[in-house]
Structure 1
Amino acid sequence: MAVKTSTRERVNGRKRVSKPKNLINVPSTLKSLGKGTKSLSSSFFKSYQTVSIFMLSLAILVGLSSFGKAGPIGEFVNNLITWSFGYGVYLFPLLLIYGSAILIRDKDVINTQKVFVGTLWVQIFTSALFHFYIHAEPLSISVGTSALQKSGGFISAFIVYPLNNLLAAEMTHVVLLFGLIISVLYMTDIELKDLIGGVQAIFVYSYRFIFAFYKARREASKINFDLVNSENDEPKEDSKTNVVTLKKEKSKKSVKSEVAEKPKPVKSKAKPSKKKSTNYVLPPLKLLKRGTDVSTSKKLLQQTATDLQNLLKEHGVEAELTKIVPGPTVTRYEIELSPGVKVSKVTSLSHDIAYALATPDVRLLAPIPGRSAIGIEIPNRQRRLVSLGDVLSSSDAQKLDHPLNVGLGLDISGSPRLMNLSELPHVLIAGQTGAGKSSCINSIVTSLLMRTNPDEVKMVMVDPKRVELGQYNNVPHLLTKVITNPKKAVDALSWAVSEMDRRYDLLADGQVRDINGYHEKYDAGLLDTDKFDRFPFIVVCIDELNDLMMVAGREVESAIVRLAQMARAIGIHLVVATQRPSVDVITGVMKANIPSRLAFSVASTTDSRVILDQSGAEKLIGLGDMLIVTASNPRLERIQGAWVTEGEIKDVVSWVKSQKEAEYNPAVIEEQKSTAVQNNEDLGEDEELIKTATELVVRSQLGSTSMLQRKLRVGFARAGRLMDILESQGIVGPSEGSKAREVLITVEEFETDSLSSIEDDVSEDLIEPEKAIVEEVSDSDDDDNWYEE
C-alpha cells in the first residue's frame, strides 16, 4: 500500500511544515554581506600604510581635479566634493595630507580609522563655518546648486540652516566652533590641555617675535638717526683745529689716568694679566650649533608603561607605576613594590622586560639611591642629538663663572650637566672603541676654549693616536704642541711634577693654602711680582693611556699618581682616557687617587668593575651614553654626552687663534731626569756590581735580564733592578716585552769612557798628595819665608 507523502509530518506529536529548499534566505544573505563588508573595512583600516597611501592619493586627485588635470574621473570627483563642501574643496587636500602625515608619524599608537573619520569631520565643520561666515543669512538647500557651490556646499547648508533657525546666530557659531575643536581632537588623538598649551605657545612665540622685531627696528632707527645727527652736527673746521682738539682730549685723559693711578702704586704691578684678559674676546656661542628636539609621544610612553605593568603582573610582581622620566636617550619608569615583594624578583626580569618591550637592553636601578623605588631605564626609539651648544647656552651654564666648568651633556631628565674640574679634581675616562671617549675630550677642551682666556687656563695634550687632538695645535691655551711621542709625553709628565713642586714652594712663601687664595692675594697686590708669578690652571689631557703604559709604565704611573695625590691645591688637573679598561693599564694605585670616573659602553661586567668598581657600564647603548661617579657624589649618574662637530671645533679654534698667538714653553718636553730611579744608593746596589753588569751588557750587546741573572748569579728581581739602573744611565733602551732591550752604547764608546775615567782617577790620586804637601808647608812656622828658599 503506497504511503502518500505530505508536507506536514508529525515530530514528537507536533506538526512540522517542511520548507522548500530552493528558496533564498534573504536575512542571512544580508547578514553575511554585512559581515563581509565589515571585515573588509576593518582589514582596510588595520594597515596604516594602506590608509595613508589612500589619503595621499585622494589628496593628489582632488588637487589635480580642481585645475582640470585629472580627466573624467577627476572631473566627477571634483564635482562631487564641490557639491558637498563648496569652496572647502581647496582645503580638503591639505587635510588629507596632514592626516596621512599623522598616520606615518604616530603609526605605533594612532588609530587609523579615527584619523580618517576625524579628517572628514574636520572638513565638514570647517566648510560649515565658512558657509556661516560668507553670508549674512545662511542659505538653505532650496537655493540651488550654483549658489551652494560658491559657499559651503550642500552638507554645510544641511547643517547650518536648521541650527540657525533653532538657535540664534551666536549659539550656532559656538556649536560649530566646538564641533571643529572636538573633530580636531578626535583626528589627532591629543588631549585638550595639550591643544590649549600649543595654542598658548603659538601666541607667546608670535608675541616674542613681534616684540623682538619691533625692538630691533627701533634700535636700528635710533642708531641711524644718531649717526645722521653726528655727521650733520660736525663743525666744519680745518685740520689744524681738529688736531688741537684731539691733543686737548688726550691731555685730559692722561691727567685723569695719572690721578687715578697715583693712590694705588702697589696694584699696578698685578694688572698686566688683567689687561691681557680684557683684550682677549671669548668665542661667541653662535659658533656652536643647537641640537634638534625629538617630540616624545605621551601615548607611546603610556603604552610602554601599561605593557611593563602587565609583564610584572604576569610574573607575580605587584607594583605601582609612580613616575615616568623621559630623557634624551632613555626613559626611566619608576615603580614602587607592594609590601612583601622582594626586589630580587624585579632584578631577575631584566631579560624578560627587554624581550617583551623589544629593546636592545634594559638597566635596572634596584633601588634608586635614596628612594624606596625601582628605576627601569628603557632606550628611546628616537634618540635626541645633544649638542654642546645646548649645554653651554643654558641658563645653568651662564650662572657659573669658574674657569674650569666644562659641559658634559644632558642628564636623564634632560637638564644640562656641567662639571668643575677643580672639584673632581682628576677624571678617568674609559670605554670601548666608538663609545664616545674622544667626543667627551673634545667637549671638555672646546668648553675650556669657549669659557676661558689663555691667561687663566693652560693645557698639555698627549695624543699617541696622532689623529684626535692635532686640530688644537697653535692654540694659545697650549703650553706646547700636541704631544704624539710617548717618550716626550713622559718628559711632559715629569715637567708637570717639577712644576707642582715649584708652585708649592710659592704657596709656602706666600703663606696660602691653595691656588684660589694665591690668586686673591696676588690680585690684591700683596705679593711681590718680581718673586711671585700669577700661574694659571693647567689641564693635562691624555687621550690614550695604554700606549704610554706600554712604553714607560713605571714612570708614567709614578708621575700620574704623584700628580693625582698632590696637584689639586696648585691647579693642575688630569683628564686621562683609555679604551682598554684592564688592571694592567688602570692600576689600583691610580684608581685610588683618581676617584672621579666616566664610563662609556664596555663589553663585559668585568670591565665595568675595573672602571666604576661596580657593574652598569655594560648596559649602556653607546654613542655618548655614559655613567659618571665623582668624589663628591659616589652614586652613579647617567648622562647623554654632548656632541661637537669638527666644523664647530675648527670655527672655535680659528677664533681663538685670531685673538692671540701661541707661546710655547720649551721646558715642557725637555728630557727630564728619571723620577723612578734617581741614584744607585736608593736601590741599594753595589757600584762594582753595576760596573760588571754594564760591561757584560755592552760587550755582549744583549740587554737581557735573564743573561744578567745567569752571569752574575743573582735573583730575577735583583737583575731587573740592575737593568732599570742601566736604563736610567742611558746604556739600554726601554723594555719591549719579551724581547731583549736595545743596547745604546757600543764597545768602542765604552772602552773610551773607561780609559777617560781611569785617567781622571789617576790624576786625582796624583794631585791629592801635592795638595797635602803644600798644606803642610803652609802650616809651618816660617810660612812667610818658605817661598824664598
Structure 2
Amino acid sequence: MLKLLVIALAVLVGLALLLKWRRPVWYWLSFGVGLAMLRVAFRYAAVMEACRLTVPASRMRRALARWMKKPVPQQRVPRLLWIRPTRTGLRLRIRLWPGQDAFEFAAASDRLRHSFAVHQVTSREIKPGVIEIALTGYDVLKRVQMPDAPDRGLLKIPLALVEDGTVHYRDYREVPHAITVGATQSGKSVTQRTVIKELASQPVALVGIDCKKIELGPFARRFSALADNPDDAMELLEALVARMEITYDTIRREQRISADTPDGEIAANIWDLPEDLRPVPIVVTIDEIAELALSTKKNDPRRDRIVKALVRLAQLGRAAGIFLDIYGQRFGSELGDGITMLRAQLTGRMVHRVNDESTAKMAFGDISPHAVFAATQIPNSRRGMAVVGYSTGDWVRIRTPFTTMRQAVAACNKHAHLAPDLPELARFRPLLDLASVEAPAVTEAA
C-alpha cells in the first residue's frame, strides 16, 4: 500500500512538473492556484507587516491601553475584502486604512512578489480607499498564448499579452495615433505584422508608407494606397490632408445645429454621420519615420512638406477617421524641425528593446522615469516584448505573439476584397494582378 502511494505521489509530481514546463496555464489552474491562495491567506497579515503596509492603532485604542496599563495595540493590517483566482494568477481587493495610499503598495510590489512567492505583482486604485493587487503566478510573457476569443470591435484589435495575463488592445478610437520605437531585431516588425493581420478583416482602409520597400509590399493586396519613396510619400500625405478637409466639410454640412436639435444628433466627427455618408476610416502605417523626416539638406522643401502634413494629420485626423501608426528606431529632435510637435500629438507610446536610454526617454520622458528604466531592461532574447506608456503616467510590460510574414500575408490576401477604392488616393493604389482575389474591391460610398 505504501509503495502504491509513493508511486502515485511520484506520478503526480511528475505530471505537475511536466505541466509547468509545457502548459503553464494548466499547471496554474490545476496546482498553482490552490497553493497560492493558501499562501496568501496564511501569510497575509505577516506580509503586510513585514512590507510596512500597516498603520498604528487608533488614538482611542492607544489611550485606553495606557489608562488600563495594557500592552500597546498591534498595528492595523489593511482589510482583505476578497481573493479571486484568474487564468494566470490571483487578484486581491484591499481596503486601506486612513493615512494609506495606493502608491505605498505600488512601491512595495517587489517585496510583495518575494513574500507571496509569485512571478509578478502589480497594483491599481479602484476607488478612493480601495486597491486591487494582481499576482501573476508564472512568467506569462515567456511563451505568449493569447486567449481563444479576445474582445474585438471596429478599430479595436487584440495586440499583445500584458504581464498580468490580461490582453492589451490597440483601440484607435480611444488612442488614435501611436509611435512604436525599437532597435533592430527588437520585434517592431512582429508588432506591425500583428496589427496589419488583425486589421485586414475589418472594414477599414489601410494606407502604407514604406521607404525600405520590403516591409509593407507583401501586404499590398489589402492596401488601398502604398508609397515606397519619399516623393510619393509626400504626395500621399498631402492627398490624405485634402481628403481630411473634404470630410470636415461633410461633417459641417450635416451638423444642422438648431434650438430643437438633440445634443446626440449634432455631428462632430465621422461617427456622428449617417452610415451612408460616413467615409471609410483609414489607418496609416509608416514603417520608418527617419526615412521621411531625416534629410541631408539643410532646407529641404520635400521634408518640410512631409512633416507639415504629418503634424496636420496628427492634430486633426481623428475626427475625420484618419489614424496614424508610426514606427522607427529613434524619434528625437535630431530628425529636424517639427518632430517634437508631431511626437506631442501621438498619444500611444510603445518602446521595444532600445540600445540607449535616450531613445526610451524620447517616448517616455514625459510619462514616467520608471517606464524609461523598464524599457532599457528588456533582454535581447525577448523579441516582441515592449513597454507601453499612458498619458496618466501608468505603464505596463507587454509581448506580442509571434506573427510570421506568411500569416500576415495570408490574412491580407484572404481579405483583399475588403480594400476600398478611395478616389483621392487612386493613383497610389498598388498595381497588382487581382485575378486571384475572390471578390471585387469595395467602393467607398459617395
- TM-score, structure 1 as length reference: 0.39
Partner of 1:547: 291
1:237-289 deviation line (CA, Å, top 9, x unaligned): xxxxxxxxxxxxxxxxxxxxxxxxxxxxxxxxxxxxxxxxxxxxxxxxxxxxx
1:551-593 deviation line (CA, Å, top 9, x unaligned): 3654333212111222222221112233325455694422443
Mean Cα displacement is larger for which, 379-388 or 661-670?
A: 661-670
Partner of 1:610: 363
Opposite residue 238 of structure 2, the aligned amino acid is S
1:494-513 deviation line (CA, Å, top 9, x unaligned): 22112222333444456665
Question: Judging changes above 3 Å, is the alpha-carbon distance between structure 1 residues 350 and 520 closer, same or farther for their aligned structure 2 residues?
Answer: closer
Match of 1:425 among 156, 166, 176: 176
Opposite residue 667 of structure 1, the aligned amino acid is R
| Structure showing greater Rg | 1
Counterpart Cα distance in 2 of 1:328 and 1:436: 26
Opposite residue 578 of structure 1, the aligned amino acid is G
Shift of 1:635: 6.5
Question: Judging changes above 3 Å, is the alpha-carbon distance between structure 1 residues 538 and 313 closer, same or farther for their aligned structure 2 residues?
Answer: same
Partner of 1:737: none
Match of 2:374 among 603, 615, 619: 619
Shift of 1:102: 3.9
Contact 2:349/2:363, CA 8 A, preserved across alignment: no
The residue correspondences of 1:381-780 to structure 2 (distance < 5 A) are 381-383=138-140, 385-386=143-144, 390=147, 393-394=149-150, 396-397=151-152, 400=153, 402=154, 404-410=155-161, 414=165, 416=167, 418-431=169-182, 436-452=187-203, 457-475=204-222, 478-481=223-226, 483-508=227-252, 513-520=268-275, 522=277, 535-551=279-295, 554-584=304-334, 587-600=339-352, 604=357, 607=360, 610-611=363-364, 613-617=367-371, 618-619=373-374, 623-627=384-388, 629=390, 634=392, 636=394, 638=396, 640-643=398-401, 645-646=403-404, 647-657=406-416, 659=417, 665=425, 667-668=427-428
User: What SS does the corresponding residue of 1:520 show, helix, strand or coil?
Assistant: coil
1:279-300 deviation line (CA, Å, top 9, x unaligned): xxxxxxxxxxxx9945421255
Question: Judging changes above 3 Å, is the alpha-carbon distance between structure 1 residues 103 and 443 closer, same or farther for their aligned structure 2 residues?
Answer: closer
Provide the aligned C-alpha RMSD in A: 4.8
Opposite residue 614 of structure 1, the aligned amino acid is S
Contact 2:180/2:327, CA 8 A, preserved across alignment: yes
Mean Cα displacement is larger for which, 411-420 or 542-551?
A: 411-420
Counterpart Cα distance in 2 of 1:416 and 1:601: 20
Contact 2:193/2:403, CA 8 A, preserved across alignment: no
Contact 1:628/1:639, CA 8 A, preserved across alignment: no
Question: Judging changes above 3 Å, is the alpha-carbon distance between structure 1 residues 341 and 645 closer, same or farther for their aligned structure 2 residues?
Answer: closer
Contact 2:270/2:320, CA 8 A, preserved across alignment: yes
Contact 2:20/2:27, CA 8 A, preserved across alignment: no
Question: Judging changes above 3 Å, is the alpha-carbon distance between structure 1 residues 596 and 316 closer, same or farther for their aligned structure 2 residues?
Answer: closer
Segments of 5+ residues of structure 2 without an aligned counterpart are: 55-76, 256-266, 296-301, 431-446
Opposite residue 479 of structure 1, the aligned amino acid is S
User: What SS does the corresponding residue of 1:383 show, helix, strand or coil?
Assistant: coil
User: What SS does the corresponding residue of 1:580 show, helix, strand or coil?
Assistant: coil
Question: Judging changes above 3 Å, is the alpha-carbon distance between structure 1 residues 374 and 493 closer, same or farther for their aligned structure 2 residues?
Answer: same
Question: Judging changes above 3 Å, is the alpha-carbon distance between structure 1 residues 544 and 595 closer, same or farther for their aligned structure 2 residues?
Answer: same
Q: Does 1:101 align with 2:9?
A: no
User: What SS does the corresponding residue of 1:473 show, helix, strand or coil?
Assistant: helix
Q: Does 1:298 align with 2:33?
A: yes
Shift of 1:537: 1.8
Shift of 1:427: 2.6
Segments of 5+ residues of structure 1 without an aligned counterpart are: 1-83, 109-290, 523-533, 671-789
Opposite residue 101 of structure 1, the aligned amino acid is G
Partner of 2:61: none
Contact 2:156/2:172, CA 8 A, preserved across alignment: yes
User: What SS does the corresponding residue of 1:428 show, helix, strand or coil?
Assistant: strand
Partner of 1:680: none
1:183-214 deviation line (CA, Å, top 9, x unaligned): xxxxxxxxxxxxxxxxxxxxxxxxxxxxxxxx
User: What SS does the corresponding residue of 2:175 show, helix, strand or coil?
Assistant: coil
1:404-444 deviation line (CA, Å, top 9, x unaligned): 23223456765555454234332333355555443333232
Opposite residue 627 of structure 1, the aligned amino acid is V
Opposite residue 655 of structure 1, the aligned amino acid is K
Question: Judging changes above 3 Å, is the alpha-carbon distance between structure 1 residues 314 and 503 closer, same or farther for their aligned structure 2 residues?
Answer: closer
Opposite residue 571 of structure 1, the aligned amino acid is G
1:141-197 deviation line (CA, Å, top 9, x unaligned): xxxxxxxxxxxxxxxxxxxxxxxxxxxxxxxxxxxxxxxxxxxxxxxxxxxxxxxxx
Question: Judging changes above 3 Å, is the alpha-carbon distance between structure 1 residues 472 and 106 closer, same or farther for their aligned structure 2 residues?
Answer: closer
- The structure carrying a bigger strand percent of its residues is 2
Counterpart Cα distance in 2 of 1:558 and 1:521: 31
Contact 1:336/1:372, CA 8 A, preserved across alignment: yes
Question: Judging changes above 3 Å, is the alpha-carbon distance between structure 1 residues 549 and 292 closer, same or farther for their aligned structure 2 residues?
Answer: farther
Question: Judging changes above 3 Å, is the alpha-carbon distance between structure 1 residues 364 and 510 closer, same or farther for their aligned structure 2 residues?
Answer: closer
Counterpart Cα distance in 2 of 1:405 and 1:346: 32
Counterpart Cα distance in 1 of 2:39 and 2:187: 29
Shift of 1:459: 1.4
Partner of 2:74: none
Question: Judging changes above 3 Å, is the alpha-carbon distance between structure 1 residues 491 and 626 closer, same or farther for their aligned structure 2 residues?
Answer: same
Shift of 1:446: 1.7
User: What SS does the corresponding residue of 2:194 show, helix, strand or coil?
Assistant: helix
Mean Cα displacement is larger for which, 598-607 or 565-574?
A: 598-607
Counterpart Cα distance in 2 of 1:309 and 1:543: 52
Contact 1:480/1:668, CA 8 A, preserved across alignment: yes
Contact 1:409/1:639, CA 8 A, preserved across alignment: no
Opposite residue 615 of structure 1, the aligned amino acid is P
Shift of 1:546: 3.0
1:699-743 deviation line (CA, Å, top 9, x unaligned): xxxxxxxxxxxxxxxxxxxxxxxxxxxxxxxxxxxxxxxxxxxxx
Counterpart Cα distance in 2 of 1:357 and 1:434: 35
- TM-score, structure 2 as length reference: 0.63
Opposite residue 643 of structure 1, the aligned amino acid is P
Counterpart Cα distance in 1 of 2:275 and 2:253: 15
The residue correspondences of 1:48-447 to structure 2 (distance < 5 A) are 95=8, 98-102=11-15, 104-105=17-18, 293-296=25-28, 297-299=32-34, 301-302=36-37, 305=40, 313-314=49-50, 316-318=52-54, 319-320=77-78, 322=80, 365=123, 368=125, 370-372=127-129, 380-383=137-140, 385-386=143-144, 390=147, 393-394=149-150, 396-397=151-152, 400=153, 402=154, 404-410=155-161, 414=165, 416=167, 418-431=169-182, 436-447=187-198
Counterpart Cα distance in 1 of 2:38 and 2:183: 34
Question: Judging changes above 3 Å, is the alpha-carbon distance between structure 1 residues 613 and 548 closer, same or farther for their aligned structure 2 residues?
Answer: same
1:24-64 deviation line (CA, Å, top 9, x unaligned): xxxxxxxxxxxxxxxxxxxxxxxxxxxxxxxxxxxxxxxxx
Shift of 1:472: 0.6
